[in-house]
Amino acid sequence: MRPRKVRGIARDTLRFILEASRSSLPVEFAGLLQVDEEIITEVLILPGTESSRMSALVRLYMLPNMAVAGSAHSHPSGDLRPSEQDLIFFLRTGDFNIIVGPPFDEQSFACYDGGGRRRDLAILDVEFKDSGFDEDFEDDFEDEFREDRL
């Protein structure tokens, strides 16, 4: 059920996570990441505390046809290292687990794989389209993002 390939996260999606984390203060923000066209573009928001996050996750995994690439949550302390509980959580969520913290700008995040190892996550400029799919879509899509390696 996990997406086979992930090229990065849409810049707007990262900004959403950062903004949601800022506005959740002092409570922690937590969500699950979903992928469309090999790019993380969706965030499913989970209840905000460490204890409820795990049970919410279990409930979400019972939904049919749900492919999750990983997770995103905030550390209001600003320490972007995963806690022991985070590492257990990451084993279950996938290979892209984002931790954000103050000041909640595009540099104030870290990404970890399912084993808790730090990894790069490209921020991609994606133009979201809600018009119908057409045959040129894939080519257009390639032209419309610029890849920034962190």
Query: Which residues of this protein are in contact with Zn ion, per CB under 5 A?
Result: 83, 86
Quote the distance between the C-alpha of residue 57 and its chain's center: 14
Q: Tokens for 110?
A: 């870290």
Active site residue 142: no
Cα–Cα distance measured from residue 14 to residue 96, given in angstroms and rounded to the nearest whole number: 13
| Nearest by Cα to 61 from 74, 75, 39, 46 | 46
CB of 39 to Zn ion, least distance (A): 24
Cα–Cα distance measured from residue 126 to residue 7, given in angstroms and rounded to the nearest whole number: 12
CB of 89 to Zn ion, least distance (A): 8
CB of 129 to Zn ion, least distance (A): 34
Question: Given the complex with Zn ion, which of 64 and 103 has the nearer CB atom?
Answer: 103
Question: Given the complex with Zn ion, which of 24 and 38 has the nearer CB atom?
Answer: 24
List, in order, residues 6 or more apart from 118 with CB less than 8 Å away.
Answer: 110, 111, 112
Question: Given the complex with Zn ion, which of 52 and 83 has the nearer CB atom?
Answer: 83
Q: Tokens for 40?
A: 């993380």
Annotated active-site residue in 19, 28, 142, 144 = 28
> Taking CB positions, which residue lies at the least distance from Zn ion?
86
Annotated catalytic sites, by residue? 28
